[in-house]
Chains A and B, each alone.
Chain A
Amino acid sequence: NAGVTQTPKFQVLKTGQSMTLQCAQDMNHNSMYWYRQDPGMGLRLIYYSASEGTTDKGEVPNGYNVSRLNKREFSLRLESAAPSQTSVYFCASTSTGGRQFSYEQYFGPGTRLTVT
């Protein structure tokens, strides 16, 4: 099992450029999340998808869009990158519902994005 994979690992963009961050999980999880992590700010939720076919805004959605392509894949798109979007982006997944503890989120290795 690869767990949660993210591509690319690093990216440098110029202001105004667009890009898509890819995320995939092979654990048959129904919920997936995109976070950004900045120094001193912890993890902030950008968007999440509670199940295939649904997406919802998190704490900091402005400037981002998402697509839940299927149960495995959840992508994050920056349409017009800004320097304020320089951050480390993490994708995570979990299996909600059921009787076992269902709050453990499994994280990918992150994408380090710099916008100049």
Chain B
Amino acid sequence: QKEVEQDPGPLSVPEGAIVSLNCTYSNSAFQYFMWYRQYSRKGPELLMYTYSSGNKEDGRFTAQVDKSSKYISLFIRDSQPSDSATYLCAMPMIYNQGGKLIFGQGTELSVKP
């Protein structure tokens, strides 16, 4: 079993839809939970991160962590064609082993006008 699992999709939604992207993880010691966005033929960029449980909102994006279920989500409200990208969840290895991250497989999202 991978430490971080993510449904690779692809996911296609109409413009304006609410999008839910999810990851599960197996290591209960993870404390930080990150979402990267990767546009086609580009490198990933950090979108947002949360610490421990709870929600964090940034504009149309909300990151949610449920540590009891080992489940994290990224919600996108009023999705736009410019949100079309691959979204990767990531978690730092415990004890900060050289800053290494464990990535999910990434979910490819397409928002149709």
Contacts and interface: CB of A to CB of B under 8 A. Distances in A.
Contacts of A33: 100
**Interface size classification for chain B:** 20 to 34
Interface string B16-45: 000000000000000010100000011111
Contacts of A110: 41-43
Contacts of B41: 110
Interface string B79-113: 00000000010001000111111011110000000
A105 B98 contact: no
Given A31-B98, A96-B96, A103 B105 contact: no
B44 A40 contact: no
A50 B96 CA distance: 10
Contacts of A58: 100
Interface residues of A, number: 27
A103 B97 CA distance: 11
Given A33-B100, A107-B43, 15 more contacts: A4-B43, A31-B99, A40-B105, A42-B6, A42-B88, A43-B103, A56-B98, A58-B100, A90-B43, A94-B99, A96-B98, A102-B99, A103-B32, A104-B46, A107-B45
